[in-house]
């Protein structure tokens, strides 16, 4: 009895997965409007560990087109770009208080080990930061935030 139900259950799951492919999101990388300028060491770390979700230069993996994973990835990229977008940094910089706040958040999130998110680090080994890289990023963000605060 159980064995007879199994193929039906698998068919049902398969049908749901196939139907899910009808809900698609186009991977978008809008133009870069004003990218962050920082020392090469820092931009190297940011590009490797952060830019996929926090810029308009997302490297969309093949599975970003396969539902339901695609839904999660698109959601994360949209949220990430809303919260912090290095491709629009010049917008933040036109209000020094905002640039300072963004830099302080980068510092806090990186120092606290919250960024990049754990699941993303598991999927992408290259985004894992060494202690030295984290320290460099935090020191840079704190210094730039202080510079911003002095400027206004």
Cβ proximity to other proteins: between 38 and 138 the closer is 38
Q: Does 147 bind other proteins (CB under 8 A)?
A: yes
Stretch that binds other proteins, among 8-16, 54-62, 90-98, 120-128 (CB under 8 A): 90-98
Would you say 88 and 78 are in contact if contact means Cβ atoms under 8 Å apart? Answer: no
> What is the C-alpha to C-alpha distance for residues 139 and 133, in angstroms, rounded to an integer?
10
Q: Which two tokens stand for residue 61?
A: 């993996």
Among 93, 111, 136, 138, binds other proteins (CB under 8 A): 93
CA distance 14 to 12: 5
Q: How far apart are CA 53 and CA 91, in angstroms?
A: 18
- Total residues contacting other proteins by CB under 8 A comes to 24
Applying CB under 8 A, which of residues 36, 45, 49, 137 lies at the interface with other proteins? Answer: 36
Residue 55 contacts residue 79 (beta carbons within 8 Å): no
Binding residues (CB under 8 A) for other proteins: these are 36-38, 82, 85, 88-99, 101-102, 144, 147-148, 151-152
């Amino acid at each position: 009895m159980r064995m007879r139900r199994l193929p039906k259950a698998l068919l049902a799951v398969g049908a749901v997965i196939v139907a899910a492919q009808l809900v698609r999101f186009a991977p978008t990388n809008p133009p870069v409007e004003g990218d962050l300028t920082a020392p090469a060491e820092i931009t190297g770390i940011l590009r490797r560990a952060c830019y996929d979700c926090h810029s308009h230069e997302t490297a969309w993996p093949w599975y970003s087109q396969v539902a339901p994973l695609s839904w999660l990835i698109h959601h994360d990229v949209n949220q990430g770009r809303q919260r912090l977008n290095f491709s629009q940094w010049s917008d933040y910089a036109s209000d020094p208080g905002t640039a300072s706040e963004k830099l302080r958040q980068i510092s806090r999130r990186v120092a606290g080990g919250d960024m990049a998110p754990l699941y993303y680090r598991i999927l992408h080994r290259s985004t894992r930061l060494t202690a030295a890289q984290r320290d460099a990023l935090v020191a840079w963000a704190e210094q730039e935030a202080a510079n911003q605060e002095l400027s206004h």
